[in-house]
């Protein structure tokens, strides 16, 4: 198991997270007494506006900003992504820093960029998010993962996938081959 593959508590948010690469965590699991809920926006919107919507939604539920566990965004396509990725990640990190969501300097929020199902957006937008609320679902705890949570620390391409192409239980757990 890699050093960064240890769950870290975010007690204010009611979850534990698996540190990932700089822009996001590898995934989040609800702590006992909490569950993860998914919300979808009616229309995708820019991250700054979406952040205000998320903040109002959480406040209306009596949940802290720390309850935010994942952002879902349509993938803007390779050309647009290359052009905007650094500035988007910088702006995104600034919002999380302003909200005081970093845990010991690490971003606990998972992020998933998904296919847009048509023409990709021309700029980064958000179409959904996940957060914790008090409550327990019967069975296993609820969780979310990042769109590329299988990357080694510092990796940003498929070459950095832990045990790429393998599906054995050891590979799924991220253990090094023996």
Strand order in the sheet with 110-114: 34-46, 125-134, 68-74, 110-114
* Residue 66, in any domain of the structure: yes
Q: Is residue 86 part of a domain?
A: yes
Please give the pLDDT value at position 78.
60
Whole-structure pTM value = 0.77
31: CB partners within 8 A, 6+ apart: 9, 11, 14, 15, 16, 132, 141
Q: Is residue 2 part of a domain?
A: no
Measured between alpha carbons, how far is 172 from 149 in angstroms, rounded to an integer?
A: 11
109 falls within a domain: yes
Residue 176 lies in a domain: no
Tokens 């023409």 belong to residue: 119
Q: Is 177 contained in some domain?
A: no
Residue 141's pLDDT is what? 87
Secondary structure E strands in the chain:
8-10, 15-18, 27-30, 34-46, 68-74, 110-114, 125-134, 143-145
Give me the number of domains the chain comprises.
1
Domain that includes residue 33, residue range: 8-171
The residue to which tokens 């023996």 are assigned: 178
Tens of pLDDT along the chain (178 residues) come to 344 458 999 989 999 998 877 778 888 999 999 999 999 888 888 888 888 999 999 999 999 999 999 887 766 556 656 666 666 777 788 888 999 999 998 989 988 766 556 666 667 778 889 999 998 777 788 888 876 656 666 666 667 777 777 778 777 666 666 6
Q: Residue 4's pLDDT is what?
A: 41
**pLDDT score, position 13:** 94
């Amino acid at each position: 198991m890699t050093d960064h593959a240890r769950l870290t508590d975010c007690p204010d948010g009611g979850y534990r997270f698996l540190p990932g690469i700089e822009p996001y965590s590898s995934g989040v699991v609800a702590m006992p007494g909490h569950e993860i809920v998914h919300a979808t926006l009616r229309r995708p919107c820019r991250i700054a506006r979406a952040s205000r919507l998320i903040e109002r939604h959480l406040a209306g539920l009596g949940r802290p900003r720390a309850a935010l566990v994942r952002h879902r965004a349509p993938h803007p396509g390779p050309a647009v992504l290359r052009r905007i990725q650094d500035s988007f990640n910088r702006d995104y990190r600034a919002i999380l820093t302003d909200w005081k969501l970093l845990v010991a300097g690490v971003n606990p929020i998972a992020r998933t960029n998904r296919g847009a199902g048509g023409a990709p957006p021309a700029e980064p937008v958000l179409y959904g998010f996940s957060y914790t609320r008090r409550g327990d679902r019967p069975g296993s705890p609820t969780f979310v993962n990042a769109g590329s949570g299988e990357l080694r620390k510092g990796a940003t391409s498929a070459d950095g996938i832990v045990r790429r192409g393998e599906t054995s239980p050891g590979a799924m757990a991220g253990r090094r081959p023996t």
